[in-house]
Amino acid sequence: MGRPPCCDKVGIKKGPWTPEEDIILVSYIQEHGPGNWRSVPTNTGLSRCSKSCRLRWTNYLRPGIKRGNFTPHEEGMIIHLQALLGNKWAAIASYLPQRTDNDIKNYWNTHLKKKLKKFQEASLDNPNQVQSSNSTSHHHQYLSNKSFSDRSLDISNNHASSLKLTQSSSSTTYASSTENISRLLEGWMRTSPNPPPLIKYDHNNNNNNNNFDHHKITTTSKYITDHGRDLVSHEEFDSILSFENLNNNNNAAAWDKSTCDSMPEKCCASSSSSHHNKNNHNHNININIKNNINCGGAPPLSFLEKWLLDENVGHVEEMMELSDPMF
């Protein structure tokens, strides 16, 4: 006999969430905090399964989520971390605090995978051109050395630097009353002792096709204090999130809070002994990365590389090959 479903399928609504449902969910979480998802549908009256509520919150409604275009910096990080970790989207998302694993996964599947493939073909056709582009790589700022796998790192750098982003503005069309959700979130920001960056529902974006019922959600380019003042620009925040900065100060605090709220197992779960898993060592890498993040900020990649080399000598190349055949 198979395992019963997580929730009774009868009467459970599926498909896109409506703004009204979002408001109900946000209101509830604002009051009770994230967690205990099983009780959320019951207590809110939402005809959604608990998993759906959790996913809606973590992937869409949670404050601090950045939506829209991925910066070249983020793209480079994803490429590099994917090469390093494989399809461990949650672990990769740990290094991109404003992005969800789902977002990263989607972006990888729809953009980066294709681009890498194209690049691979191009590099096979003309390796000299690839070599020259490496020297100007923007992503060298955080790809600090080549101690790990020259081959894979070079490929990652080259991909990231040579790929010109042509993505269109990818803000998400959303029906109705987003401003209400925005207010709710802002209210939460005010009451939260250590609020993460705010998602702003942009009602004044440049898309003239918008009407009242079809706002587009965009990530605010400014991060707003509880007094409504601009705190730090998007670019500045992007810079703050660089590995060097994460390693040197506590800028990740806001992220830690929001992350821990929604993913409590990540907080100080240092008991590696509890992870006697039967899986591959990628899992262990994942655990250690998480522990590093939550118990003192994200380490720079060079640290990871060092760790990998120290702890997994002889497995690195194997892992790289497993993570993606092209590497």
Partner DNA sequence: AAACCATACAACCGCCTCTAC
Partner DNA sequence: GGTAGAGGCGGTTGTATGGTT
Residues forming the site for DNA (CB under 7 A):
2, 4-6, 13-17, 35-38, 48-52, 54-56, 58-60, 67, 87-91, 101-103, 105-107, 109-111, 114, 167-168, 170, 172-173, 209, 214, 262-266, 269, 274-275, 277-279, 286
CB of 169 to DNA, least distance (A): 8
Q: How many residues does the chain have?
A: 327
The minimum distance between CB 134 and DNA, in angstroms, equals 25
Residue 61's nearest CA partner among 75, 82, 44, 76 is 44
Of 58 and 98, nearer to DNA (C-beta) is 58
Q: CB of 250: closest distance to DNA in angstroms?
A: 22
Of 8 and 226, the one with the shorter C-beta distance to DNA is 8
Residue 35 φ/ψ region, left for φ over 0, alpha for ψ in the -120 to 50 degree band, beta for the rest: left
Which is closer to DNA, CB of 65 or CB of 241? 65
The residue type at 181: I
Q: Of the two residues 73 and 290, which places its CB atom closer to DNA in the complex?
A: 290
Is the alpha carbon torsion for 277, 280, 282, 284 positive or negative? positive
- CB within 8 Å of 223: residues ≥ 6 apart: 197, 198, 230, 231, 232, 234, 237
Nearer to DNA, 36 or 132 (CB): 36
Q: What is the nearest approach in angstroms of DNA to the Cβ of residue 170?
A: 2
As measured in angstroms, the least distance from the Cβ of 225 to DNA is 27
Other beta carbons less than 10 A from residue 261's beta carbon: 19
Comparing CB distances to DNA, the nearer of 49 and 130 is: 49
Residue placing its CB nearer to DNA in the complex, 35 or 72: 35
Name the CA dihedral angle for 43, 49, 51, 57, rounded to a multiple of 10 degrees: -60
| AA identity, residue 261 | D
Q: Kindly tell me which of 165 and 253 has the beta carbon lying closer to DNA.
A: 165
For DNA, which is the closer residue by CB, 51 or 234? 51
C-beta of 40: minimal distance to DNA in Å? 8
Q: Least distance from C-beta 224 to DNA, angstroms? A: 22
In the bound complex, what is the minimum distance in angstroms from residue 195's beta carbon to DNA? 20
